[in-house]
Amino acid sequence: MDWLGPEEWQAVALSLKVAVWATLVSLPLGVVTAVALARWEFPGKQLLNGLVHLPLILPPVVTGYLLLLTFGTRGPLGALLEPLGIVFAFRWTGAALAAGIMAFPLMVRAIRLSVEAVDPKLEQAASTLGASRLWVFGTVTLPLILPGVIAGAILAFAKAMGEFGATITFVSNIPGQTQTLPSAIYAFLQVPGGEASALRLVAVSVVIAMGALLASEWLSRRVAKRVAGT
Amino acid sequence: MSLSVDIRHALPGLALDVRFEAPAGITVLFGRSGAGKTTVVNAVAGLLRPDQGRISVNGRVLFDSGAGVNLPPHRRRLGYVFQEARLFPHMTVRRNLAYGQRFAPKGAGGEEMGRVVEMLGIGALLDRRPGALSGGERQRVAIGRALLAAPKLILADEPLASLDEARKAEILPYFERLRDEVAVPILYVSHAAAEVARLATSVVVLEDGRAARQGAAAEVLSDPAVTPLGVRSAGAMLEARVVRHHADGLSELQADGLTLWLPRVPQAEGTPLRVRVEAHDVMLALTRPEGISALNVLPATVREIRMGDGPGALVQLSAGPNRLLARVTRRSVEALELRPGLELFAVLKAVGVAKESVADL
């Protein structure tokens, strides 16, 4: 990859790290949220639904600023977590948090659709055979929604790779620290003679996006076939 | 071994108030659609919570609204065979079969996988997925899966209703084997008279949410007051035995002293058979008819007459210890002056109605 300068390479690597962490950490939470919204009845369900979808509707800058207010070193949660060694402001972890929150609605929507597609009659059948609710989820529901979970994860990964507005508002644009791929492209375009670097990063973006898309297609086809039971 | 149900539940358009006992063997919940059959089975399984009542299996309380007991489905230890097999599509047949075994307590005395697979004839399917099975095969696997969970009671909710006639004929023998070879009692929902006649040890007739009648199968089915599906499908059931196959292609059967002639049946001599005689296949004559082509003419006594709403009437006859039903017109009842105690002759127009019973399959 010597055709990429060290600064460019840094941005690509950071973006991959941020997107992978954002996806992996939010995935279990996304599955639980999707199941809760699809199957459970509880007070405040509409409120939860609204909260989950908020980042999709709010301008990303607003989400970023709200994150800064909440998780900044002087924010209520930021101040609470700092003694524990968890710092988000102006760190790559903050970029991952912003990316994860921005991607969360997309992930939950994809998984929720697949949960709703699972016939509750199968879960009933499992329970009459002696499986507790947790076992039913682990052995019947989860395997059947796996294609949706994978699709949700890929969507979230793609969204996290491309997140710009909330990230730059929350953690700024520090090379090597918080300068993700979109931030780097934006920065190169601001300086004279930066077009070549920007174009190279654009090419990398296209390759990663295409790769993720193809991988998800292949993966979900495989899993869908397994689940269809033929 | 028995199931005891006593529940009340309000459904839209139906107030369910059902009380019955199901002894060992197959107890068929019989009634037209909408009579509340599935609701009763779901209440027993714990998939539905009745408003009030009590359900117990072999004395173990599954549900008691008074005492606040309501075991969740997975702690009831029942095997449920649904109308649609509900196999897990992402598991092989083998893993589907084994699913319930993991949850059965050690030493629960469940069936062995090998024996069940052999009994249901599904050995060749073990490594396939449900998607690659026919409807009949799926239902057989579903029966095996329920059985292997070491249940105290098997529930079957119209397990044949979604299958065509050929597939039904494929599955019925397995339920008969279950009835005769497995000690677990079975609660079987059906609205098909032929299934009831063939499988039932005892029958509970559900009408408009109530258990209108319950008792031994032969007794309930020959009761002219019990026609949940209308007079047209009424018919009696006789327990018979193949005596001899004759050279002219007929088989001689004995049913408690009655001799019946049927077109050659495939069973060996000595085999027990259940014979169903539909009410509209029985004619009545005051004197023994002469010069008639029907082979089965039985002396009988009128026990009870039930006038229908239309032009028809159902006449219950006793022929020795057996009960028969005849469907005649009200005009004939008056013309022949039929009344309880009258001795006459029953002409069976068709007894090509032999349904194999179990032991020989």
Domains, chain B, ranges and CATH?
Answer: 3-221 (3.40.50.300), 235-360 (2.40.50.100)
Interface of B with A in 280-299 (CB under 8 A): none
Partners of B82 on chain A (C-beta within 8 Å) are: 121, 125
CATH code at A6-116+142-228: 1.10.3720.10
Say whether B131 and A139 touch across the interface (CB within 8 A). Answer: no
Nearest to A229 among B46, B73, B90 (CB): B90
The whole-angstrom separation of Cα A49 and Cα A61 is 21
Q: Mind listing the pLDDT tens digit for each residue in B287-322?
A: 888 888 888 888 889 988 887 767 778 888 888 888
Residue of B41, B71, B74 to mutate, interface with A, max A Cβ within 10 Å: B74
Q: What CA–CA distances, in Å, run from B352 to A146, B144, B218, B251, B273?
A: 54, 32, 19, 11, 13
B274 touches chain A (CB under 8 A): no
Q: Name the band, by pLDDT with cuts 50, 70 and 90, for residue A59.
A: very high
Q: Mind listing the pLDDT tens digit for each residue in B49-107?
A: 999 999 999 889 999 999 999 999 999 999 999 988 899 999 999 999 999 888 887 76
**How far apart are the CA of A229 and the nearest CA of chain B, in angstroms?**
5
pLDDT of A23 reads: 95
Say whether B73 and A230 touch across the interface (CB within 8 A). Answer: no
Domain edges within chain A: 6-116+142-228
Considering chain A, what percentage of its residues have pLDDT values greater than 90? 57
Interface of A with B in 80-139 (CB under 8 A): 119, 121-122, 124-133, 135-136, 139
Average pLDDT over residues A151-168: 90
The whole-angstrom separation of Cα A79 and Cα A52 is 24
pLDDT beyond 80 at A206: yes
Nearest to A230 among B45, B132, B155 (CB): B132
Amino acid, single-letter form, for residue B22: A
B147 touches chain A (CB under 8 A): no
Q: Mind listing the pLDDT tens digit for each residue in A61-95?
A: 999 999 999 998 888 888 888 888 888 888 899 99
Question: Which residue of chain A comes nearest to B134, CA vs CA?
Answer: A230
Question: Which residue of chain B comes nearest to A224, CA vs CA?
Answer: B90
The whole-angstrom separation of Cα B32 and Cα B230 is 9
Say whether A129 and B82 touch across the interface (CB within 8 A). Answer: no
Weakest mean pLDDT among A140-154, B121-135, B342-356: B342-356
Say whether A131 and B130 touch across the interface (CB within 8 A). Answer: no
pLDDT of A229 reads: 57
Average pLDDT over residues B17-46: 89
- Give chain A's mean pLDDT: 89
pLDDT of A228 reads: 66
Residues with Cβ within 8 Å of residue A24, at least 6 apart in sequence: none
Question: Which residue of chain A comes nearest to B90, CA vs CA?
Answer: A227
pLDDT of A140 reads: 94
Residue of A114, A128, A134 to mutate, interface with B, max B Cβ within 10 Å: A128
**How far apart are the CA of A154 and the nearest CA of chain B, in angstroms?**
22
Residues with Cβ within 8 Å of residue A103, at least 6 apart in sequence: A22, A23, A26, A155, A156, A157, A159, A160, A163
pLDDT of B361 reads: 25
Partners of A130 on chain B (C-beta within 8 Å) are: 74-75, 77, 100, 102-104, 149
Q: Mind listing the pLDDT tens digit for each residue in B216-244?
A: 877 787 776 666 655 556 777 788 888 88
pLDDT beyond 50 at B357: no
Average pLDDT over residues A113-142: 92
Q: Which of B56, B57, B58, B51 is nearest to B36 (CA)?
A: B51
Say whether B89 and A130 touch across the interface (CB within 8 A). Answer: no
pLDDT of B316 reads: 86
pLDDT of B193 reads: 75
Q: Name the band, by pLDDT with cuts 50, 70 and 90, for residue B31.
A: confident
pLDDT of A209 reads: 84
A230 touches chain B (CB under 8 A): yes
Nearest to B74 among A119, A131, A143 (CB): A131
Nearest to B103 among A131, A133, A230 (CB): A131
Say whether B90 and A132 touch across the interface (CB within 8 A). Answer: no
Partners of A144 on chain B (C-beta within 8 Å) are: 89-90
Q: How many residues does chain B have?
A: 361
B89 touches chain A (CB under 8 A): yes
pLDDT of B226 reads: 67
Helix count (H) and strand count (E) of chain B?
A: 8, 21
The whole-angstrom separation of Cα A27 and Cα A104 is 9
Q: What CA–CA distances, in Å, run from B184 to B113, B114, B155, B341?
A: 16, 18, 10, 41
Question: Which residue of chain B comes nearest to A225, CA vs CA?
Answer: B90
Considering chain B, what percentage of its residues have pLDDT values greater than 90? 25
**How far apart are the CA of A125 and the nearest CA of chain B, in angstroms?**
7
Nearest to A132 among B47, B74, B76 (CB): B74
Partners of A126 on chain B (C-beta within 8 Å) are: 88, 99
Q: Mind listing the pLDDT tens digit for each residue in B9-20?
A: 998 888 899 999
**How far apart are the CA of B85 and the nearest CA of chain A, in angstroms?**
9
pLDDT of B309 reads: 67
Weakest mean pLDDT among A102-116, A169-183, B173-187: B173-187
Say whether B88 and A130 touch across the interface (CB within 8 A). Answer: no
The whole-angstrom separation of Cα B154 and Cα B78 is 6
pLDDT of B356 reads: 44
B146 touches chain A (CB under 8 A): yes
Average pLDDT over residues B212-219: 81
Q: What is the ipTM of this complex?
A: 0.79
Nearest to A226 among B87, B90, B155 (CB): B90
Q: Mind listing the pLDDT tens digit for each residue in B264-294?
A: 887 788 888 777 788 888 888 888 888 888 8
Instruction: For B223-283, give the DSSP string.
Output: -TT--TT-GGG-EEEEEEEEEEE-TTSEEEEEETTEEEEEE--SSPTT-EEEEEEEGGGEE
The whole-angstrom separation of Cα A92 and Cα B329 is 91
pLDDT beyond 70 at A20: yes
Partners of B104 on chain A (C-beta within 8 Å) are: 130
Partners of A135 on chain B (C-beta within 8 Å) are: 74, 103
Nearest to A144 among B79, B90, B99 (CB): B90
pLDDT beyond 60 at B360: no
Give yes or no for a contact between B64 and B46, defined as CB atoms under 8 angstroms apart: no
DSSP B157: E
